[in-house]
C-alpha cells in the first residue's frame, strides 16, 4: 500500500525530510560497489604480516595522530611502540600512494587486520575523527562512503572521468557536489529545501548511481535508483516508512559516533517527523489488530458452517447407504424367487417331455410288434433296458441340475449379502475419514490463524518496544549533538584552511609577479627604467622546431597561440623548450605569459586585446604558475629549492615558510600547474637540467627558455623534449619601435612621424637585421633618440655595444676625452667615443674580471658572483664605477653577508671578456686552451665572445678560431659510432656557424 511522505505541513520541510531519506538510499546503493573495490585495493597494496599494530608502523610523534599527555607520554603509542617491518611498511606506503592527499587516517585503522578485512584499509581514506569503531562499510554513514570514493585514487578507474573532473578538492567536481549535498542537508539551519534544490539533489544522486563504468549494472545501485524514483514520486509503502524510521535512528546514532552535530532546528524537525511516522505505524498496527480480530471471527464462522455441512453430508450419506442396502436386499430377493421359479418350470417341462417320449416309444413298439415280432422281440429287451437307463440318467441329471441351481442361488445370496456388508462398512469408513479430515483441517486453520494473530501481536509489541527505545536513544543523541557538531566543524575547518591557503597563495603569487616579473627594462642603457611588459611587448616570431631522426633540427610552422606551445593534438605535453639567441626575446615572452596567467586568475582592468597568443583561456588549465629565474639560483640543483628561495621566502614571513612549502607540495599533488624556468644557459649545475625530484609530476608542465647551444648538450635526450620552439625576434619591428618610442618621447613629438624617421635611419645604416634581437633594436633606438647614433656605420655588434658602453660611462662619469696619437684607442670601435677614454682604467679592470669569471672552471660563479669575489678583482673605486654606470648590478638577499653581483646582461660580460682577449692575446694559449679542453662543447658557450673578438682584433679572432677548430677536431676525430658521427656533424655545422658569425 503506497503512502505519501508529506509528514509536515510545510512543503519545504517535507522536501528536507525527503532529502534525508534520499541520502540513506544513495549510501545503501553505493555500499556493495565500495566494498568490492576495497577488495581490489587490498590486492593492489599487498598482504601485510598480520602481526603489526598501527602503533608499530607510525613514528612518534606524528601530526594529527599522536597526542601527548602529562609526563610527555603519547596516548596513541601507550601500548605499542614503533618498530620496523618491511612487509607492513610496504603496505603502508602503498596505502599512502593511493591517498589523493597523501594523508591517510591512521588512527581509524587496525593494521593487524589489513590482510583479512579490506574495510580496515578503506578506513584509512575516511575522515580522521569518529570512524575508528565503525566495523563495516554497512555501518558507515553517507559522508564516510563518499569520502572513500574521493580520497582513494583507485576509484578513478571505477568511475567515469566526468565524476572526477575537475579533480577533488575542486568544488566543481561532481563527486564533491554529492558530498556537499550531504553537508547541506545535515547542517541546515531551518530544515527547508526548495523544490528546485530537491530536484537537483535527486538528479545529482541518481546520476552518480547510474555511472556507466560500474554502478549502472550494480544491483544495489539499481535498487537505490528505483527507491529514489519512488521517493521522488511519493510511491513509498507504509512498510518502507517503518524501515525509514529505523534508518533515521541509525543515522543519528552513527552521526553521534562520527562526531557530527545537527542544529537545534534539525533536531526538532527530525523529532516531529519521527513522531508522525510513529503515529502512522501505530495506526497501521491498530488496523492489523482489527484485521486479526476479523480473521478470527471469520475462521470461527467458517468452522461452524463446515461442521454443519459435514453433519448434513454424514446424515445424507447414511440415508443413501440405508436406501442402497434395502434396494440390494430386495433385488437379491427378487432374483432368488425368479431363479426358483425358473428351476421349477424347467423341472416340470423335463418331466412332461420324458412322459411324452415314453408314450411315444410304447406306441412305436406296439406298432412295430405286428410287422416284426421277432425284430421287436429281439429289440424289446434292448429298448426296455435303454429306456430304463435313459430314465435313470434323466432323473439323475434333473437331480444334479436342481442341486446346482440351489447351490448357485445360495452362493449368489451369500455373495450379495457380503458385498452389501463390505460396501456398508466402506461407506461408514469413508465418512469417518472425511469427518476426521474436516475436523483436522478446521483445527489446523484455527491454529494457523491463532499463530498469525500471535505473531502480529508480538511484532506489534516489538515495534512498540523499538519505538520506546528509539525515543530514549533520541534523547541521548540530543545530549551528544553539540559535541558532534564541534568535531565536524574541526574536520571542515581543515578543508576550509586548505582552500583558504590555496586562494591566499594564488593571490600572493599574482601580486608578486605583477610587482616583479611583469616589469621589464625598457633598455639595457638604463635597467632602472622599467615598464610593464604589456606596454612594450611586441608579438614574437616563434617557430616550432622538428627534431629529425639524424639529430638535425628543422624549422616548422609559426606558432601564434599558447595552445600550440603546450599541446600536441589534444594532449598536454610535459616538457616545452623555447630557444633563442641572446636578446631575441625569450625572457620577454616568459614575462608576457606570466602576465596573461595573472589576468586569467585575477583579471585586471588594464588588460588589452591581442591578436597573437590571444587564447589566454589555455592558461586557465594551469591553476598555479611558478616562475624561476635560473640565473638567480645558479648554486641550487633542485626546482623545489628554487621555488622556496625565489617565491616562498619572498611572499611569506619566515614563520610561515614551512607551512607554505607544505601547501605548495600539496597543491602540486592535486592540481595542474606550470613551472617556467627562464635562462637555462645561465644555470651552471653539474647536471644537464635542474632536478625535478620531490616535485609531483602527474600534474606538472614545464616551460624552459635557453640559448640553442645549451640544448645541444648530449646529456639532454631527444625523448626529454616534447615540444621545441625557437624565437627569432619580433614580427612587427615598426610596431615594436612605436611601443618603445611612446615611452621615450615627450608629448610634443609626433609619434608616427618619429617611427618613420627611425625606419629610414635603420635602412640607411643597414641595420634592418636587428629586428631579430629586440635587445639590440632597443639599444639602437635609445641611442638614436639621444642623437648619438650617427656614429654607427654598420651592423657590427661591437659598435652597438660600444654605443651601449659610451652611454653607460656617461652616466657614471660625464667627463669627456678623445683617444689620440698620444693615447691611441685599444680597439677601433672606441676611436670615436668621448666618454670611454676617461674611464679606460676602470674598463680594463672590469674587462679582466669579466674574462676571469667567464672562463673560470667554477661554473656556478661565472655569471653570478659574490660581493667578496667581485672585490678580489675590482678596487673599491672601480666597483663603484661599475655599479653607478649599470655595467654590473648588485642584488640584496635576506642575509646581509650574502649579496650577489652580475653583469647587466650576459652579452655585456662576453663583450668585456672579448675586449680583454683583444688586448692580451696570450690568454688564448694560457687560459682559453685549457678551458676548451676541460669543458665539453665549451666552444658553443664562448661563441658570442668570438663574434665580439672579430670586431675588436681579427688576428686574435683567427687565432682563437683555429684553436677552437683544433680542439673540436681532437675531441670528435676518433668517434666511429654512427649516431655519434651524426651528432659530430651537427656540432661541426654549429661550430662553422659560430666561426662565420665572427
Q: What pLDDT is attached to residue 894?
A: 44
Q: What pLDDT is attached to residue 980?
A: 47
- Asked if residue 253 has pLDDT above 60, the reply is no
Q: What pLDDT is attached to residue 434?
A: 65
Distance of CA 73 to the CA centre of its chain: 40
Position with higher pLDDT, 972 vs 98: 98
From the CA atom positions of the chain, what is the Rg in Å? 56
The pLDDT of 525-536, averaged and rounded, is 80
Measure CA of the first residue to CA of the last residue in the chain; give whole Å.
97
Q: Using an 8 Å Cβ cutoff, are 314 and 431 in contact?
A: yes
Position with higher pLDDT, 960 vs 424: 960
> What DSSP line would sit under 725-777, residue for residue?
EEEEEES-HHHHHHHHHHHHS-TTS-HHHHHHHHHHHHHHTT-GGGGG-HHHH
Question: What grid cell was written down for 127?
Answer: 575522515
The pLDDT of 62-87, averaged and rounded, is 78
- Asked if residue 374 has pLDDT above 60, the reply is yes
Give the separation between CA 146 and CA 175, rounded to whole angstroms.
8
- Per residue in 618-662, pLDDT (tens digit) is 999 999 999 999 988 888 999 999 999 999 999 999 999 999 999
Out of 423-432, 485-494, 676-685, pick the least confident: 423-432
Q: Using an 8 Å Cβ cutoff, are 278 and 466 in contact?
A: no
Out of 490-494, 710-714, 773-777, 938-942, pick the least confident: 490-494
- Asked if residue 691 has pLDDT above 50, the reply is yes
Q: What pLDDT is attached to residue 403?
A: 73
Confidence tier at 794 by pLDDT (50, 70, 90)? very low
Q: What pLDDT is attached to residue 206?
A: 94
Confidence tier at 983 by pLDDT (50, 70, 90)? very low
Q: What pLDDT is attached to residue 9?
A: 77
Confidence tier at 8 by pLDDT (50, 70, 90)? confident
Confidence tier at 439 by pLDDT (50, 70, 90)? low
Confidence tier at 789 by pLDDT (50, 70, 90)? very low
Q: What pLDDT is attached to residue 254?
A: 55
Give the separation between CA 694 and CA 683, rounded to whole angstroms.
20
- Asked if residue 63 has pLDDT above 70, the reply is yes
Confidence tier at 787 by pLDDT (50, 70, 90)? low
Confidence tier at 783 by pLDDT (50, 70, 90)? confident
- Per residue in 913-968, pLDDT (tens digit) is 999 999 999 999 999 898 888 876 666 778 889 988 998 999 999 999 888 888 76
Position with higher pLDDT, 187 vs 144: 144
Q: What pLDDT is attached to residue 974?
A: 42
Out of 168-177, 208-217, 777-786, pick the least confident: 777-786
- Asked if residue 88 has pLDDT above 50, the reply is yes
Confidence tier at 565 by pLDDT (50, 70, 90)? very high
Q: What pLDDT is attached to residue 349?
A: 75
Per DSSP, what are the bridge partners of residue 303? none
In this structure, the dihedral spanned by the alpha carbons of residues 272, 273, 274 and 278, taken in order and rounded to 10 degrees, is 100
The pLDDT of 222-229, averaged and rounded, is 93
Q: What pLDDT is attached to residue 788?
A: 47
The pLDDT of 545-556, averaged and rounded, is 84
Position with higher pLDDT, 412 vs 43: 43
Position with higher pLDDT, 455 vs 35: 35
Q: What pLDDT is attached to residue 482?
A: 57
Query: pLDDT > 70: what percent of the chain?
Result: 76
The pLDDT of 895-906, averaged and rounded, is 68
Question: What grid cell was written down for 456?
Answer: 502480529
Give the separation between CA 725 and CA 734, rounded to whole angstroms.
24
- Asked if residue 247 has pLDDT above 80, the reply is no
- Asked if residue 236 has pLDDT above 60, the reply is yes
Sequence-separated (6 or more) residues with CB below 8 Å from residue 972 = 980, 984, 987, 988
**590486492: which residue's cell?**
43
Q: Of 541, 533, 534, which is closest to residue 731 (Cα–Cα)? A: 541
Please give the backbone phi and psi of residue 413, each rounded to the nearest 5 degrees, phi first: -65, -45
- Other Cβ atoms less than 10 A from the Cβ of 676: the count is 23
Position with higher pLDDT, 474 vs 518: 518
Over the chain, what is the mean pLDDT?
81
- Per residue in 806-834, pLDDT (tens digit) is 878 887 888 999 999 889 999 999 998 99
Tell me the longest C-alpha to C-alpha distance in the chain.
222
Amino acid at each position: 500500500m503506497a503512502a505519501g511522505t508529506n509528514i509536515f505541513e510545510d512543503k519545504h520541510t517535507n522536501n528536507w525530510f525527503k532529502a534525508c531519506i534520499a541520502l540513506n538510499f544513495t549510501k545503501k546503493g553505493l555500499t556493495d560497489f565500495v566494498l568490492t573495490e576495497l577488495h581490489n585495493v587490498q590486492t593492489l597494496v599487498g598482504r601485510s604480516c598480520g602481526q603489526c599494530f598501527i602503533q608499530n608502523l607510525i613514528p612518534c610523534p606524528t601530526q594529527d595522530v599522536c597526542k601527548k599527555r602529562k609526563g610527555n607520554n603519547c596516548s596513541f603509542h601507550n601500548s605499542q611502540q614503533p618498530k620496523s617491518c618491511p612487509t607492513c611498511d610496504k603496505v603502508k606506503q602503498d596505502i599512502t600512494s593511493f591517498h589523493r592527499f597523501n594523508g591517510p587516517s591512521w588512527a581509524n585503522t587496525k593494521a593487524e587486520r589489513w590482510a583479512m578485512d579490506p574495510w580496515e584499509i578503506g578506513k584509512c581514506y575516511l575522515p580522521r575523527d569518529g570512524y575508528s569503531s565503525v566495523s563495516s562499510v554497512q555501518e558507515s554513514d553517507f559522508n564516510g562512503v563518499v569520502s572513500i570514493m574521493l580520497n582513494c585514487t583507485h576509484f578513478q578507474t571505477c568511475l567515469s572521468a566526468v565524476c572526477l573532473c575537475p579533480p577533488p578538492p575542486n568544488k566543481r567536481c561532481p563527486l564533491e557536489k554529492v558530498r556537499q549535498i550531504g553537508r547541506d542537508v545535515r547542517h541546515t539551519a531551518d530544515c527547508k529545501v526548495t523544490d528546485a534544490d530537491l530536484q537537483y539533489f535527486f538528479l545529482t544522486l541518481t546520476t552518480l548511481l547510474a555511472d556507466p563504468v560500474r554502478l549502472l549494472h550494480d544491483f544495489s545501485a539499481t535498487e537505490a535508483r528505483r527507491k529514489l524514483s519512488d521517493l521522488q514520486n511519493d510511491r513509498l509503502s507504509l512498510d518502507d516508512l517503518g524501515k525509514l524510521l529505523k534508518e533515521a535512528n541509525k543515522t543519528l546514532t552513527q552521526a553521534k559516533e562520527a562526531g557530527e552535530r545537527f542544529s537545534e532546528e534539525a533536531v526538532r524537525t527530525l523529532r516531529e517527523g519521527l513522531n508522525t511516522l510513529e503515529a502512522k505505524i501505530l495506526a497501521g498496527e491498530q488496523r492489523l489488530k482489527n484485521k486479526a480480530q476479523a480473521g478470527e471471527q471469520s475462521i470461527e464462522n467458517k468452522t461452524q458452517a463446515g461442521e454443519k455441512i459435514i453433519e448434513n453430508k454424514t446424515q445424507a450419506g447414511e440415508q443413501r447407504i440405508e436406501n442402497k442396502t434395502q434396494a440390494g436386499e430386495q433385488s437379491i430377493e427378487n432374483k432368488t424367487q425368479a431363479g426358483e421359479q425358473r428351476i421349477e418350470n424347467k423341472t416340470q417341462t423335463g418331466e412332461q417331455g420324458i412322459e411324452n417320449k415314453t408314450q411315444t416309444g410304447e406306441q412305436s413298439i406296439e406298432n412295430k410288434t405286428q410287422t416284426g415280432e421277432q425284430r421287436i422281440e429281439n429289440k424289446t429287451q434292448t429298448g426296455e433296458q435303454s429306456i430304463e437307463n435313459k430314465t435313470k440318467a434323466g432323473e439323475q441329471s434333473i437331480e444334479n441340475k436342481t442341486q446346482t441351481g440351489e447351490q448357485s442361488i445360495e452362493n449368489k445370496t451369500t455373495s450379495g449379502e457380503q458385498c452389501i456388508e463390505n460396501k456398508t462398512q466402506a461407506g461408514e469408513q469413508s465418512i469417518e475419514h472425511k469427518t476426521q479430515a474436516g475436523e483436522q483441517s478446521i483445527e489446523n486453520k484455527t491454529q494457523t490463524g491463532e499463530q498469525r494473530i500471535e505473531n502480529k501481536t508480538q511484532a506489534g509489541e516489538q515495534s512498540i518496544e523499538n519505538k520506546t527505545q528509539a525515543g530514549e536513544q533520541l534523547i541521548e543523541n540530543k545530549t551528544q549533538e553539540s559535541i558532534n557538531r564541534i568535531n565536524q566543524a574541526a574536520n571542515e575547518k581543515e578543508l576550509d584552511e586548505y582552500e583558504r591557503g590555496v586562494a591566499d597563495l594564488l593571490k600572493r603569487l599574482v601580486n608578486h609577479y605583477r610587482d616583479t616579473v611583469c616589469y621589464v627594462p625598457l633598455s639595457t642603457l638604463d635597467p632602472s627604467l622599467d615598464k610593464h611588459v604589456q606596454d612594450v611587448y611586441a608579438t614574437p616570431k616563434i617557430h616550432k622546431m622538428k627534431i629529425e631522426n639524424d639529430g638535425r633540427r628543422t624549422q616548422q610552422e609559426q606558432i601564434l597561440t599558447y595552445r600550440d606551445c603546450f599541446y600536441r593534438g589534444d594532449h598536454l605535453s610535459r616538457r616545452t623548450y623555447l630557444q633563442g639567441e641572446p636578446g631575441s626575446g625569450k625572457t620577454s615572452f616568459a614575462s608576457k605569459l606570466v602576465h596573461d596567467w595573472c589576468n586569467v586568475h585575477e583579471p585586471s582592468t588594464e588588460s588589452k586585446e591581442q591578436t597573437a597568443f590571444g587564447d589566454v583561456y589555455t592558461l586557465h588549465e594551469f591553476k598555479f604558475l611558478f616562475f624561476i629565474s635560473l640565473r638567480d639560483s645558479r648554486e641550487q640543483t633542485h626546482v623545489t629549492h628554487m621555488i622556496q628561495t625565489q617565491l616562498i621566502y619572498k611572499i611569506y614571513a619566515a614563520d610561515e615558510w614551512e607551512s607554505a612549502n607544505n601547501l605548495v607540495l600539496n597543491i602540486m599533488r592535486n592540481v595542474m600547474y606550470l613551472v617556467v624556468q627562464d635562462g637555462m644557459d645561465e644555470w651552471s649545475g653539474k647536471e644537464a637540467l635542474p632536478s625535478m625530484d620531490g616535485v609531483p609530476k602527474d600534474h606538472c608542465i614545464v616551460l624552459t627558455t635557453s640559448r640553442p647551444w645549451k640544448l645541444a648538450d648530449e646529456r639532454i635526450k631527444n625523448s626529454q623534449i616534447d615540444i621545441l620552439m625557437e624565437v627569432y625576434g619580433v614580427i612587427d619591428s615598426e610596431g615594436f619601435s612605436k611601443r618603445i618610442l611612446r615611452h621615450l618621447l615627450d608629448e610634443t613629438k609626433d609619434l608616427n612621424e618619429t617611427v618613420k624617421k627611425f625606419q629610414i635611419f635603420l635602412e640607411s645604416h643597414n641595420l634592418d637585421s636587428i629586428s631579430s634581437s629586440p635587445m639590440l633594436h632597443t639599444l639602437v633606438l635609445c641611442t638614436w633618440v639621444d642623437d648619438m647614433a650617427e656614429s654607427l656605420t654598420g651592423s657590427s655588434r661591437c659598435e652597438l655595444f660600444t654605443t651601449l658602453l659610451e652611454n653607460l660611462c656617461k652616466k657614471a662619469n660625464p667627463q669627456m676625452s678623445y683617444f689620440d696619437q698620444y693615447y691611441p684607442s685599444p680597439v677601433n670601435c672606441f676611436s670615436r667615443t668621448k666618454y670611454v677614454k676617461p674611464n679606460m682604467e676602470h674598463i680594463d679592470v672590469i674587462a679582466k674580471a669579466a674574462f676571469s669569471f667567464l672562463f673560470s672552471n667554477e661554473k656556478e660563479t661565472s655569471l653570478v658572483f659574490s660581493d667578496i669575489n667581485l672585490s678580489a678583482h675590482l678596487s673599491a673605486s672601480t666597483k663603484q664605477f661599475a655599479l653607478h654606470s649599470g655595467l654590473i648590478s648588485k642584488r640584496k638577499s635576506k642575509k646581509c653577508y650574502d649579496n650577489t653581483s652580475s653583469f647587466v646582461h650576459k652579452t655585456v660580460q662576453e663583450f668585456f671578456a672579448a675586449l680583454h682577449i683583444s688586448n692580451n692575446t696570450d690568454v688564448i694559449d694560457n687560459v682559453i686552451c685549457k678551458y676548451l679542453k676541460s669543458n665539453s662543447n665549451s666552444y658553443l658557450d664562448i661563441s658570442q665572445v668570438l663574434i665580439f673578438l672579430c670586431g675588436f682584433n681579427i688576428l686574435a679572432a683567427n687565432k682563437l678560431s683555429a684553436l677552437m677548430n683544433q680542439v673540436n677536431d681532437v675531441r670528435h676525430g676518433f668517434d666511429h659510432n654512427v649516431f655519434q658521427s651524426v651528432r659530430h656533424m651537427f656540432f661541426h655545422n654549429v661550430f662553422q656557424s659560430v666561426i662565420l658569425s665572427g
